Amino acid sequence: MPLTRQQIAMLMQLVAETTSDELDCSGCLDHLAEFAETHLAGQPLSDALEEVRTHLKNCHCCEHEFQSFLEALKGMSDDSQ
């Protein structure tokens, strides 16, 4: 059964919504500093930061960025003590 134009439009919208739910790499990196600070402070994660955490689990590239960031933050706090 061929799809109608309207059904295709609905499917496209569904896909668009699904993709916008998932954080992309640049969106993840935008929140990386906040995420790292919250993580180090042991504070609860906001919805936006939960998305960052999910992305980091699935993206080695951003995970690597995050680890570097954590090291940098830890290094800064070591210096201040």
Cα gap 14→50, rounded to integer Å: 22
Contacts (Cβ under 8 Å, ≥6 apart) of 3: 11
Sequence-distant (6+) residues with CB within 8 A of 46 are 38
Number of residues that bind Zn ion (CB under 5 A): 4
Instruction: Choose between 14 and 57: whose C-beta lies nearer to Zn ion.
Output: 57
Phi-psi region of 42 (alpha: psi -120 to 50; beta: other; left: phi over 0): left
Q: Binding marks (x or -) toward Zn ion, 19..38, rule CB under 5 A?
A: ------x--x----------
The 45-64 contact track toward Zn ion, x by CB under 5 A, reads --------------x--x--
| Residue 8 touches Zn ion, criterion: CB under 5 A | no
Binding site for Zn ion (CB under 5 A): 25, 28, 59, 62
